[in-house]
Amino acid sequence: MKKYLIALSAFTLMAVATNAQSNDNAAKTPPNQQNGWKMHHGKHGGMNMHKSHSMMMKDLNLTDAQKQQAKALNEGYRTKVQNLEKDQNITLKDYRAQKASLEKERKAKFQDILTADQKNKIAADRKKMSEKRQMMAQKRMEKMKTNLSLTDEQVAKIQDQRKSMIDQSKAIRENSSLSNEQKKEQMMNLRKTSHDNMDKILTADQIKKRDELRDNHMKGMKNKSGNKAS
């Protein structure tokens, strides 16, 4: 039996792709024995998220005492998660539920460590990041409209779809009954659905042009990376 150990910190998200054999087996089989139960990190998205979060944490100017409290909180959380994984009788459903409860408890205790000013700083930073994302999304929309010759009707449909995805993403993130793995899984499904819906809005020629532009962009990034390495 191969066991998968989860290395989680208080401030990073781990992605899990779940592919259970069947509903009956999933209900009876311990999570560390589930067939196809694999963990992976998003190479770029995870790194960007971690970098952004690290910068935000640095701006909080935690005291040495707060850092020690956060460290103890992390270690206690990891120990509890590892104990869950060692339980050979726990079902995947119960494992997820208990892990989600532990995550919720950890976040609440971390909030208790912070001062009112630090909490306000986090809220302000999140608002600033949200505004920045909206501005970047608008620029991408304008560029897409030009490159793909989108009609006003197509633009309106794409914007409606984007708003729907943002609302659904927010609902997933704020659902305290879901573990980080479940949230990541649902976010992956949401992105796939959004991509499929986008293809329904675009014409065949627009899809072809979009894919060509994307491939050229990736080649450019690869060449740029290769030049830096040399």
Question: Which pLDDT score is estimated for 174?
Answer: 85
What is the full per-residue pLDDT of the chain (230 aa) written as tens digits? 333 333 333 333 333 333 333 344 444 444 554 443 433 334 444 445 555 556 666 778 899 999 999 999 999 999 999 999 999 999 988 988 898 899 999 999 999 999 999 999 989 998 998 899 889 989 999 999 999 999 999 999 999 999 999 899 989 988 878 888 889 999 999 999 999 999 999 999 999 999 999 999 888 888 877 776 66
State the distance between the two ends of the chain, measured CA to CA, in whole angstroms.
44
Answer whether residue 165 is part of any domain: no
Question: Which pLDDT score is estimated for 58?
Answer: 73
Answer whether residue 98 is part of any domain: yes
Answer whether residue 70 is part of any domain: yes
15, 41 contact by CB (below 8 A): yes
Question: Which pLDDT score is estimated for 215?
Answer: 92
Answer whether residue 63 is part of any domain: yes
Encoded tokens for 153 = 């009707």
Question: Which pLDDT score is estimated for 229?
Answer: 64
Answer whether residue 6 is part of any domain: yes
Q: Is the Cα torsion angle 129, 105, 39, 58 positive or negative in sign?
A: positive
Answer whether residue 52 is part of any domain: yes
pTM comes to 0.55
Number of domains within the chain: 1
181, 18 contact by CB (below 8 A): yes
Supply φ then ψ for residue 116, to 5 degrees.
Answer: -60, -40
Question: Which pLDDT score is estimated for 81?
Answer: 93
Answer whether residue 209 is part of any domain: no
Question: Which pLDDT score is estimated for 51?
Answer: 57
Question: Which pLDDT score is estimated for 53?
Answer: 58
Beta-bridge mates of residue 40: 15
Question: Which pLDDT score is estimated for 31?
Answer: 52
178, 190 contact by CB (below 8 A): no
Question: Which pLDDT score is estimated for 59?
Answer: 78
Question: Which pLDDT score is estimated for 65?
Answer: 94
Answer whether residue 140 is part of any domain: no
Question: Which pLDDT score is estimated for 48?
Answer: 54
- Domain span at residue 53 reads 1-114
